[in-house]
Chains A and B, each alone.
Chain A
Amino acid sequence: MERSGAGAEQTGNGAEGPLWEVFTQPSDGSPFEHAGSVHAPDAELALQNARDVYARRGEAVNLWVVPSDAIVASSPGDRGPFFDPADDKPYRHPQFYKVPRGIRM
């Protein structure tokens, strides 16, 4: 890890450092899944903390850590306009359509 004056970056983040979101990949090729979060002063220690907290029992073959404040999240108020319109559009699922005879599944 590149580092310089590691201590100076922490000001304002409390003694535990800022929060990082942890994503684990359970096996090669599978998608990364959100596992939880850790506190750490910098990226290298966030990776180590994530390993110790979320991957010490063999849960992962790869890890991502992302500063929590880099995550852009939808808000509860978005729920109506974002998600509800999908409720009455079953034809957006492939299962809605009958497969013609003779097509192999």
Chain B
Amino acid sequence: MSSARQPNDSALFEYLLRLGDDRLILGHRLSEWCGHGPVLEEDIALANVALDLVGQAANFLRLAGTVEGKGRDEDTLAYFRDAIEYRNAKLVELPNGDYGRTIVRQFLFDAWSVLLLERLQRSSHVELAGIAAKAYKEARYHVRHSGEWLLRLGDGTEESHRRAQTALDELWPYTGELLMADEIDKQLAGTILPASAELASAWRDAVGDVIRRATLTQPADGHMHSGGRQGRHTEHLGHALDEMQILARSHPGAKW
């Protein structure tokens, strides 16, 4: 990092929080499946993905702390911010629901994450590009895992099809927030970030293809939920943070 603060630093800090918080919260949600997976193999698979996501979050948040320059490390950012300071999209904070819903949410996120990370590898910001390159390899596996499962749930039994379609209908209105570009994105687009319009259309192609092959129906783009990127979250995030943060807050500086 250069020691002089760049004009883009506050936008970059915000953007790194988004990258980190999406993965931290989704990783936490997936970790709730540990010991409850539908079969042993899938239990391990979900825990693996959860660990990957938390690891990615740690890298993005560490860089966020460096860019901010106020001495906050990844643990401080993870454990000592309240819901209103979190910048994750609402999609990832929603409760897991059944396994079908967890997989639908995971696929919608993974399909976006893999495309974003692929492009972030070419970011002009060297550290960001490096973290993205490492995470990209993991994300390629994640989307393969959730995509293959979505195919099987959609094109499986009547029951699995019905549950996958219900989850898709309920979660679709939360996907707009992933694709939407606001002021932060616009300030960074072109050099540090990829162009968001191209990313959104690549996501639509990738997701549409799997939905079709899974014999599911792609919901229409109606009202899209937003606000997570600005710290306006659903009530679910607060409960998730309570559980995630209680140990660190009850015993500040504890090592284990």
| Co-assembled chains A and B | yes
Given contacts A7-B160, A44-B148, contact A52 B155 (CB under 8 A): no
Q: Mark A51-71, 1 if CB is under 8 A from B, else 0.
A: 111001000000000000000
Binds A, one of B3-11, B41-49, B74-82, B194-202: B41-49
A3–B156 alpha-carbon span in the complex (Å): 11
Whether B41 lies near A52 (C-beta < 8 A) is yes
A40–B152 alpha-carbon span in the complex (Å): 12
Whether A52 lies near B45 (C-beta < 8 A) is yes
* CB-CB contacts below 8 Å: A37-93 with B: 38-42, 44-45, 48-49, 51-53, 56
Check: B122 CB closer than 8 A to any chain A CB: no
Which B residues lie within 8 Å of A42 (CB)?
152
Q: Number of A residues contacting the other chain (C-beta, 8 Å)? A: 20
Q: Closest residue of chain A to B52, judged by CB?
A: A56
Whether A6 lies near B48 (C-beta < 8 A) is no
Closest CB in chain A relative to B54 CB, distance in Å: 15
- Which of A7, A48, A56 is the one whose CB lies under 8 Å from B148? A48
Closest CB in chain A relative to B102 CB, distance in Å: 16
Given contacts A48-B144, A56-B48, contact A40 B41 (CB under 8 A): yes
Whether B152 lies near A53 (C-beta < 8 A) is no
Which B residues lie within 8 Å of A102 (CB)?
none
A38–B40 alpha-carbon span in the complex (Å): 9
Q: Mark B47-67, 1 if CB is under 8 A from A, else 0.
A: 010000000000000000000
Which B residues lie within 8 Å of A56 (CB)?
44, 48
A48–B39 alpha-carbon span in the complex (Å): 14
**Residues of B near any A CB (own CB < 8 A):** 38-42, 44-45, 48, 141, 144-145, 148-149, 151-152, 155-157, 160
The 4 A-B pairs of least Cβ separation, nearest first, read A7-B156, A49-B41, A52-B45, A6-B152
